[in-house]
Chain A
Amino acid sequence: MAIDKTSQSMDSSILGHFGPYGGRFVPEALISALDQLNDAHISAQADPSFHAELTELHKTYSGRPSILTDAKRFSEHAGGARILLKREDLNHTGSHKINNVLGQALLTKRMGKSRIIAETGAGQHGVASATAAALFGLECVVYMGEADTKRQALNVARMKLLGATVVPVTQGSKTLKDAINEAMRDWVTNVEDTHYLLGTVAGPHPFPTMVRDFQRIIGVEAREQVLALTGKLPDAVLACVGGGSNAMGIFHPFIGDKAVRLIGLEAGGKGVESGFHAATISGGTPGVLHGTRSYVLQDKDGQTIESHSISAGLDYPGVGPEHAYLNDIGRAEYRPITDDQAMYAFSLLCKSEGIIPAIETAHALAGALEIGNELGKGATLLINLSGRGDKDVQTAAEYFGLPL
């Protein structure tokens, strides 16, 4: 199948490099576990029974394929461009995160490990991990920045109900970056029986490649669905970018379709020029963070700068190395979306389509308004609706000044 060829052609060396990006910058203690994981991933990819098991889970547990929604009323605000929403919000647990989690949970079983650890920002990856742990009978510990446990309190409760232990992280900026540090420390110590179920296309090899492989299904399905519905490929594919997993998942099968623009929307916070943002590619520089070389928000000494975003899931000063590469070779574009732009689009989708999106996802919707107005009538935009907004009701109510 043509789509699969494009996916493999992007595959990097065994060291997981994407041009100058990617690789492994980790304590030596983790190398054997990363090698074991890479081997497990490669052998699973070549094993039809693995694919059969994962496909069965998608069909009977998480609810794939996810549908495509023609957002007609929302389109009126986007210069008349046709807006198609890939509904990852309808997956079990409410976001795209479950796609990667189910894949890695199966690998955990294949490696004979009994415990998973995960980091989470918005809580969506933590909830998905806790869910898979319950389903497969694994012990689950989720690290979450203390600041995020407050703004995503609903998801903390969900994880606990699912039987996971949630550890609030009080170091540093108390957000996703610090949760990843703590998860790495746990992993270095307990690597014998523990799999680190990383939630995005960042971190040391093989995570960027492996997580992408588990998220590609979004783009594979969407490409067929758009072709079936419109008879042609979309003009642009849009997704929000935190670490970059939902974006890489929908972009990847389109990489070989040169006429299709791939556009990632980063968290512009209060504006990139204000310094209060999480727009890593738009406002960062190449560097090393969390085991990989990519764009990073950092100062002249290589110290990580704290990121800022209204959205916990995008509040991260790094980004997946493959995005850095796609940006540099000009295959994908990245734009910042401010908190205010995102919240405007959030409200618009609620009222025009009856869909409450995650605030992360609202950044992609704001991008759709911008790009739609640039391209105008006749253009078709495919948007990854990465998650639903139940977890964000509190934040949104505060933003809009609604009494709760």
Chain B
Amino acid sequence: MPTALEDLFTKTKAENRAVLIGFLPAGFPTQKESKAIIKAMIDGGVDAIEIGYPYSDPVMDGPVIQAASEQAIANGVGVDQVFDLLKTSVEYGVPSVVMSYWSPIEKYGAAKFAAAVSDAGGSGVVTPDLTIEESELWKSEASDKSINRIYVVAPSTSQERLPKVSSECSGFIYAASSMGVTGTRSRVSISAKSLVDRIRTTSKTPVAVGLGVSNKEQATEVASYADGVIVGSAFIKIIQEHGAGRSGLKKIKQLAAELSEGVRSAR
């Protein structure tokens, strides 16, 4: 059976548009407020949610997500909050996935983690530091629970290696737009388009682009060639600057609406 995430990509393909995916670390700035933020993203037009498992040593993340994760961990966020938020997000009616570094998954137990994602109604897990060489265990545990395994590919991934990674992905392939860590950028790197083109020659799985997309123009540009657009730091920055009260939530919804317009007007 396809996951809700796969169904979403099928649907948007028929609509000839890209999916808009919003990212937020669980428990940021508090568990209750993270639910309200996700709600505001969805109300604004975000199609799917990626929930970050805040981790102590996030080497793929820039200062914005690092600070948000540190704050969440300081608030005591752990695995229970991650699955609670995942469940809430699914109940809000959108396909939802977890993004987690490998350490927390391994510590929790790969099989148990996959089962918990599945039980919460989640569609899959993005694993930014799990190389395909180390993923045997995860592969068997996650396919057992019929959730999507989503790996990241980068502009530096060789043509020879690309099919090895893309063939392990389901739901979507996470294309890192540029060499670097998460964060807002003034321009989305031109390497993003050529990476997506390269992936297309190896796989029919949808491709979503993340890293550095923060505004409508960028979302529109990326949505013209990719199947999905992932936005994280731009949302988090709003909360860091305006808080998660009424005005902050209004701004979240507004950004989501602009990005959503972008992905709908791109083609």
The verdict on A147 contacting chain B, using a C-beta distance below 8 Å, is no
Inside 8 A of B57's CB, which chain A residues have their CB?
A: 172, 177, 181, 289-290, 304
**Residues of A155-176 whose CB lies within 8 A of B:** 171-172
Known: A287-B107, A289-B103. A189 touches B56 (CB 8 A): no
Across-interface contacts of B93 in A (CB, < 8 A): none
Flag A289-305 by CB within 8 Å of B: 1 or 0 each. 11101001010111110
Tell me whether A24 is interfacial, beta carbon within 8 Å: yes
User: Which residue of chain A lies nearest to B129 when distances are taken between CB atoms in the complex?
Assistant: A25
> For the complex, what is the distance from the CA of A192 to the CA of B57, rounded to whole Å?
23
Number of A-B contacts (CB under 8 A): 112
Q: Is the CB of B56 within 8 A of A172?
A: yes
Report chain B residues within 8 Å CB of A304.
56-57, 103
A25 and B137 alpha carbons, distance in the complex (Å) = 14
Distance from B153 Cβ to chain A, minimum over Cβ atoms (Å): 6
The reply on B167 being an interface residue by CB < 8 A is no
Let me know if A15 is at the binding interface, CB within 8 A. Answer: yes
Task: Report the Cα distance A188→B152, complex, angstroms.
Answer: 13
Check B248 for interface membership: any CB of A closer than 8 A: no
- The residue of chain A having its C-beta at the shortest distance from the C-beta of B67 within the complex is A171
CB of B176 within 8 A of CB of A28, answer yes
Please tell me if A269 contacts chain B, counting CB pairs below 8 Å.
Answer: no
Stretch in A29-37, A92-100, A104-112 with 4+ CB within 8 Å of B: A29-37
Q: Do B156 and A23 touch (CB < 8 A)?
A: no
Interfacial residues of chain B within 187-235, with CB under 8 A of chain A in the complex = none
Secondary structure of the A contact surface, majority rule: mixed
* B163 contacts chain A at the CB level, 8 A cutoff: no
Q: Is A191 an interface residue (CB 8 A)?
A: yes
Q: Mark B143-164, 1 if CB is under 8 A from A, else 0.
A: 0000000011111111001000
Please tell me if A351 contacts chain B, counting CB pairs below 8 Å.
no
Interface residues of A in 1-51 (CB under 8 A from B): 15, 23-33
Chain B contact residue count (CB 8 A cutoff): 39
- Stretch among B2-10, B33-41, B58-66, B237-245 lining the A interface: B58-66
Instruction: Report the bound CA distance from A223 to B102 in whole Å.
Output: 40
Kindly list chain B residues whose C-beta atoms are within 8 Å of the C-beta of A59: none
Known: A24-B131, A287-B106, A302-B104. A191 touches B70 (CB 8 A): no
Residues of A within 8 A of B107 (CB): 287, 298, 300-302
Q: How far is the CB of A311 from chain B (nearest CB, A)?
A: 21
Q: Which residues of B contact A127 (CB under 8 A)?
A: none
Chain A nearest CB, measured from B137 CB (Å): 11
Q: Given the known A-B contacts A184-B59, A302-B108, are A28 and B103 also in contact in the complex, defined by CB atoms under 8 Å?
A: no
Whether B181 sits at the interface, judged by CB under 8 Å, is yes
Q: Which residues of A contact B133 (CB under 8 A)?
A: 15, 23-24
Interface string of B175-193 (1 = CB under 8 A from A): 0100111000000000000
The answer to whether A28 and B131 have CB atoms under 8 Å apart is yes
The reply to whether the CB of B134 lies closer than 8 angstroms to some CB of chain A is yes
CA separation between A296 and B57, bound complex, in Å?
Answer: 12
Give the Cβ gap from B139 to chain A, nearest Cβ, in Å.
Answer: 15
Which residues of chain A are within 8 angstroms of B78 by Cβ–Cβ distance?
301
Say yes or no: is A232 at the interface (Cβ < 8 Å to chain B): no
Given contacts A15-B133, A29-B179, A288-B102, contact A303 B156 (CB under 8 A): no
Can you name 10 A-B residue pairings with CB atoms under 8 Å? Answer: A23-B133, A27-B128, A27-B154, A27-B176, A29-B152, A29-B154, A29-B180, A185-B59, A303-B73, A304-B103
- Please provide the 10 A-B residue pairs with the shortest distance between their CB atoms, ordered closest to farther: A302-B107, A29-B154, A302-B104, A302-B103, A189-B180, A184-B59, A304-B56, A303-B56, A32-B156, A288-B103
**Using a CB–CB distance below 8 Å, which chain B residues touch chain A?**
55-60, 62, 66, 70, 73, 78-79, 102-108, 128-131, 133-134, 151-158, 161, 165, 176, 179-181
A→B interface (CB under 8 Å): 15, 23-33, 171-172, 177, 181, 184-185, 188-192, 287-291, 293, 296, 298, 300-304
